[in-house]
Amino acid sequence: MKNYYLFLDESKINSMNKYFCLGGCIIEKELYENQIIKYIEEMKLKDFEKNDTILHETDIREANKPDYQIMRKPEKRELFWNYMKKLFSDFDIKVMAVVTEPDKCKKVYCSKFINDEYFISLQIILENYAYFLEQNNGIGSIYIESRNLVEDNKLQSHYFNLMSNGTLFLKYRALQQHITTMSFNMKSDNNIGLQIADFIPNVIKKHANNLPQRKPSIISNICGCLYDGGIKDTNRFGIKKVL
């Protein structure tokens, strides 16, 4: 039985974007530990000239903070984005995400009992992840970037609820048999998988809603990795848009 990791990140709503996205990437354990970590560390050494820089899309694009100012050099910027394109194109990475519009959900379901966007998204993510693991005879853990103690506890409560009761399509046994743990990591932990996941939610929610991508764009490379459930249905298993 194979072991897999699911690395998750989020892109919140803001004044410029009304969509929320929870998404990330599934990577088989041996591939991650033996090849992808080395690949990213090699890239960091060539691009940032050290391997402890935390990859964060916004900081890299803005290139204002000291650790990222090297990205102002065109040759370094080009090298970085070429590495990211090859990462999603050359390795066996599966991407899944859920995109919601929280304000629209609240208008459609005008109820004080409506679930929040994290619960809605996590339910679909866990369902699709458990299904992926079942189809690939695997077990898997989940890593997600820590936000703060209150929000982490809330998300963990959602997780235990779903693990105990199941999801819309899968019984709880499917989740309990295939998903082992969910862990919260700080950005400073230098978790390579979470740094890769950081590049997924923002571009996915723009893609799902036909919004312009920032350049250089890696959306075509990411879309090439979308999980399709084995039936070529990436709209259900890769990018699930809710309302």
- Token code pair at residue 105: 């959900």
For 78-92, the pLDDT digits (tens) are: 999 999 999 999 999
Q: What is the C-alpha to C-alpha distance for residues 160 and 155, in angstroms, rounded to an integer?
A: 9
Amino acid at 117: E
pLDDT over 80 at 117, yes or no: yes
Q: Which residue, 90, 99, 115, 124, is CA-closest to 20?
A: 99
Residue range of the domain that includes 79: 2-242
Residues 222 and 89: beta-carbon distance below 8 Å: no
Residues 152 and 192: beta-carbon distance below 8 Å: no
For 22-54, the pLDDT digits (tens) are: 999 999 999 999 999 999 999 999 999 998 999
Mean pLDDT over residues 103-124, rounded?
92
> What is the total count of domains within the chain?
1
pLDDT at 16: 79
- Token code pair at residue 152: 């982490």
H helices within 91-227, ranges in order? 102-108, 117-135, 149-165, 172-178, 192-197, 201-208, 219-223
Q: What is the CA radius of gyration of the chain?
A: 18
Average pLDDT, the chain: 95
Residues 196 and 87: beta-carbon distance below 8 Å: yes
Residues 5 and 101: beta-carbon distance below 8 Å: no
Does a cis peptide bond (omega within 30 degrees of 0) precede residue 216? yes
pLDDT over 80 at 189, yes or no: yes
**Strands 20-28 vs 239-242: parallel, antiparallel or unpaired:** unpaired
- Number of residues in the chain: 243
Q: Which residue, 185, 5, 197, is CA-closest to 88?
A: 197
- Token code pair at residue 238: 């890769």
CATH number assigned to the domain comprising residue 136: 3.30.420
**pTM score:** 0.96
Q: Where would I find the beta strands (DSSP E) of 47-108?
A: 94-100
- Residue 34 parent element (H or E): none
